[in-house]
Amino acid sequence: MAIAATLIGARGTTATATVTTTGGTSTGGANSVFYLVVSYDPGVTVSTVADSKSNTYSLVGSVVTGRGRLARYRCIGGTGGASHTATITFSGASFAVLSLVEVTGADVSPVDISTSAVDTTSPYTIASGTLAQAAEVVLAAIESNTGINGAYSESTGFTILSQESDIGNFWTHAVAAKVVASTSSVTASFTRSGDDDAFDAALVIDSFKEAASGVTGTVAYTNLNDSISASGTVTVPLLPIFGQACL
């Protein structure tokens, strides 16, 4: 399966301490990564992170503070299914925005790059650095609450998966994804219409490795009529009667 990133659900909240994303259908399993991005008021802290499938999330890197705060959490190889939501509880009114993204087709040890930055000039940019392998998905996010309400855009080939533009009610963010085919460093470059370029923007990049293609393992035969069709590396044991492998 080729690696991909899909939005499962997103949600903003105003003067409350708890926010839950809208429900969506996720895949889950060994080749899945759930990636939760949250932007929120700098005066509060995150208390708990959970989802409706009883998965456990860990903070990636550290919380980045621009004008607001930007954090991301991940769960590798978690349980998926229908009506999948994520919930974060804060120490107080957060005015937060949450985006729950699923990476599918990932390696069972998928984590590669995790980095963060603060940029003060639009377009706001962040570079990944050299990637570990050619086939990866790179996820980038920005928190930038300046100017007037306006949509985020990205100029280097990322696809915006989720965004909130209402700076009057939320600490807004955007999340974008790009599948790459080389190990070259990737730069995300964000702008937002109406931005007055007066405040720091918090940025993050995380990349996840694609699972190797093909089949690797041992194939067992029950009779001489068995056959297989596979790509990749397949190990076939010797048949005990004839002393040779048969495909």
| pLDDT per residue as tens digits for the range 116-132 | 999 998 899 999 999 99
E strands along the chain, which residues? 4-12, 18-20, 32-40, 46-51, 58-59, 64-65, 69-76, 86-90, 97-104, 106-119, 124-127, 135-143, 152-154, 159-163, 173-181, 187-192, 201-210
Residue 225 has pLDDT above 90, yes or no: no
Residue 76 has pLDDT above 90, yes or no: yes
Residue 246 has pLDDT above 90, yes or no: no
Q: Tell me phi and psi for residue 220, to 5 degrees.
A: -105, 140
Mean of the pLDDT values across residues 27-34? 98
- pLDDT tens per residue, range 125-152: 999 999 999 999 999 999 988 778 889 9
Residue 229 has pLDDT above 70, yes or no: no
CA quadruple 53, 57, 63, 64: dihedral sign: negative
CA distance 112 to 64: 19
Residue 222 has pLDDT above 90, yes or no: no
- pLDDT tens per residue, range 61-73: 999 999 999 999 9
Q: Which pLDDT does position 148 carry in this prediction?
A: 80
CA distance 82 to 68: 32
Average pLDDT, the chain: 88
Q: Tell me phi and psi for residue 191, to 5 degrees.
A: -130, 165
Q: Which pLDDT does position 227 carry in this prediction?
A: 54
pLDDT band per the 50, 70, 90 thresholds, residue 213 = confident
Which pTM does this prediction carry? 0.85
CA quadruple 114, 45, 121, 5: dihedral sign: positive
CA distance 56 to 76: 9
- pLDDT tens per residue, range 155-180: 999 999 999 989 889 999 999 999 99
Q: Which pLDDT does position 234 carry in this prediction?
A: 42
Q: Which pLDDT does position 164 carry in this prediction?
A: 94
pLDDT band per the 50, 70, 90 thresholds, residue 197 = low
The residue written with tokens 């306006």 in the block is 150
More confident residue, 104 or 169: 104
